[in-house]
Every structure is written in C-alpha cells, then in structure tokens.
Amino acid sequence: MAKDKTLLRVKGLVKHFYLNQGFFGGKTVLRAVNNVSFHINRGETLGLVGESGCGKTTLGRTVLRLYEPTAGSIFFNGLDITALTDGELLPLRKRMQLIFQDPYVSLNALMTVGDIIGEPLKIHKMARGKQRRELVMELLHKVGLSPDHINGYPHEFSGGQRQRIGIARALAVNPDFIVCDEPVSALDVSAQAQVVSLLEDLQQELGLAYLFIAHDLSIAGHISNRIGVMYLGRLVELAASDDLYRNPLHPYTRALLSAIPVPDPDTAAQKQRIILKGETPSPIDPPDGCGFRTRCRYVREACGASVPEMVELAPNHRVACHLAGKV
C-alpha cells in the first residue's frame, strides 16, 4: 500500500489563552489562533509569514502539542494526536522537533555542546556512552561544525554556529518534521543565508518536512514550496510560493510583498509601496467580521458582517477575503 504523501494535516485549529483580570475581573480571552487549517506533505516546506503577534509561533507550538489546542484536530502521519496523553505522545516526539528562534537563549549556557546535542538521545534512550558521543560528533559534522567543538560551551560560538548546534539537537532523534520558528531572524544577513542553505541541504538529504515560520517574506519565499499568510490568528492566504509572489489576492499579502526591498534602483522607483494605516488590533478584542478590515483600503460594509471563509479562487490558491478577485 502506497504511503500517504501528507505528513501533517491541521483542521480547524484553535488556541485561546485565558488571562486573569485581577481579583474580581474574571478572565479575558486572548484568541491567538482561530480556525486554522492546512497540510504539509512529506519532504515539503510550508512557509508561515505575518507580523509579530499574529499567532505564528503559537500555531507552531500547538501543532507540536507544546501548547494544548483549544479546539480542532492535528493529524500526524494519519494519527490524530490532538487528545493523546503525554505518555502516548512521547514516541512521536522523536518525529516532530523544533528549532528555536533565538540561539542566544535556547541553548543551556551551563551545558557543553556534546551534552546539548546528546540530551534528546538520552531522553529517548537511543544511545549511551561512547555511541552517543560518536553520534553527536557525526551530527556536528552534518551541520558544518567541527567534531572538536563537542566540549565547547555556547558562549564560545557565534550566532550562526549556535543555531547550527540547535539544528543538530533537532536532528539527533531522526525526525520527519521540524517546526523552524524564525530560525534566522536573530542572525546577520550572511549567517541567515548559510543557515537557510543548510536547512535546504538537510531537507534534500533526509527528506524532512518543515513548517518555516518567518516575518520576512523574501526568506520564506526562498525556502518554501508553499506559503501561508497569517493575520490576527487566522490564515488569510495560502498558495504556492511563486503563485503568491506573482498574483497575491489578499490586500494584506500585497502590503507585505510591497515592503520587500528591490536591489535594482529603476525597478524600486516604479514599485508602489503600500503603507498600512493604524495598528494591528488586539487578539483580546478583535474587530467583528474580517480582522483586517480596520487597516484595509478596500473595506466595505460587508467586511464587518462576517468572518470571510477560505475559498479556492485559483488552483491550489486559497484566500479569505470578501472582496478577493474583485479588487
């Protein structure tokens, strides 16, 4: 029987946080992720972009069950993992890993590189003693570091090197799927390019699937097969990377794309920059209807009446906008 090409499928995922409001104020709901659905195929990269605070990181961590979902379903390799206990989840943890955003704080300063990378092997009882050390040295080589670094401490390495250590730690347990949570945002431009290239090489070699979270559309477009655009906890557009760049359908996506720098001065002079007015609404008190309507230059009365559903306006190109295809 042929293996299903879909590795991860998320249906109607919701994650709300309940905040205390003093002694007598009850609880306030922070709607971080609202009714998000998507899938990721084996060996594919799905980019997830949007402004800070839109729910990207929360979505990534909820998919991994680091946060408990409020509603919805998460299917990994055909298995609904939404309601599994911690004990039932443990064997799957090896197959789903996370690369953190900031390599300066995600590595334990008191542990050697060997202990950091070897810790997942110890937790999952995959190797011990000399065998574990040899595996760690192989992983260091795989991510472009010297095996001699095994006894070093995080403070002895540059940001790019630290992120490679974090990647090696994620690879230690032979995962199928990795959430890359803005893995290059804390690095300089040169290190960003090197880390993205490394992730692409590892994907080709190991058949990995990535959820690549970023606020920079140009970086996400470089590494991703498809891109999802997120705003105020919802997916507003999802399409193949080339299609999204060539034919953005949501006003928010157009604004994000207009902010990407263009190296050619003549082309840059002709490019129209779309400046969004106002601030992103709070996820504690989102607007009625379309969450983007308070900043959209095309807003109509219908935009406040209901939340737009994701519809497929072109092959494999979905958008959530009442006016999509009309403006």
Place 25 in a pLDDT band, splitting at 50, 70 and 90. low
For residue 12, what pLDDT is reported? 97
16-30, 34-48, 95-109, 135-149: least confident range: 16-30
Average per-residue pLDDT for the chain = 92
Mean pLDDT of 6-15: 97
Going by C-alpha positions, the residue among 280, 317, 99 that lies closest to residue 203 is: 99
pLDDT digits (tens, 9 = 90+) for 39-91: 999 999 999 999 989 999 999 999 999 999 999 999 999 999 998 999 999 98
Place 27 in a pLDDT band, splitting at 50, 70 and 90. confident
Tokens 């974090």 sit at which residue? 166
For residue 128, what pLDDT is reported? 87
For residue 194, what pLDDT is reported? 95
Place 253 in a pLDDT band, splitting at 50, 70 and 90. very high
How many C-beta atoms surround the C-beta of residue 150 within 10 A? Answer: 19
For residue 271, what pLDDT is reported? 67
DSSP collapsed to 3 states, 64-78: CCCCCCCEEEEEECC
pLDDT digits (tens, 9 = 90+) for 147-204: 999 999 999 999 999 999 999 999 999 999 999 999 998 899 999 999 999 999 999 9
For residue 254, give the 3-state DSSP assignment: helix
Going through the chain in order, the beta strands assigned E by DSSP cover 6-20, 27-41, 45-49, 71-76, 79-80, 96-99, 177-181, 209-214, 226-231, 234-240, 311-314, 317-319
Q: Rounded to two decimals, what is the model's pTM?
A: 0.93
Strand order in the sheet with 226-231: 96-99, 177-181, 209-214, 45-49, 226-231, 234-240, 317-319, 311-314
Alpha-carbon span 168 to 160, nearest angstrom: 12
Work out whether strand 317-319 and strand 234-240 pair parallel, antiparallel, or are unpaired.
antiparallel
pLDDT digits (tens, 9 = 90+) for 120-149: 999 999 988 999 999 999 999 999 999 999
Please, which residues bridge with residue 10 across strands? 38, 74
Rg, C-alpha atoms of the chain = 21
Question: What is the DSSP code string of 125-189?
Answer: T---HHHHHHHHHHHHHHTT--GGGGG--GGGS-HHHHHHHHHHHHHTT--SEEEEESTTTTS-H
Alpha-carbon span 243 to 248, nearest angstrom: 7
Mean pLDDT of 99-124: 93
How many C-beta atoms surround the C-beta of residue 273 within 10 A? Answer: 8
Going by C-alpha positions, the residue among 236, 290, 282, 230 that lies closest to residue 31 is: 282
For residue 2, what pLDDT is reported? 47
Question: Which domains, ranges and CATH numbers included, belong to the chain?
Answer: 6-95+175-319 (3.40.50.300)
pLDDT digits (tens, 9 = 90+) for 261-302: 766 565 555 567 787 888 889 999 999 999 999 999 999 999
Work out whether strand 209-214 and strand 226-231 pair parallel, antiparallel, or are unpaired.
unpaired
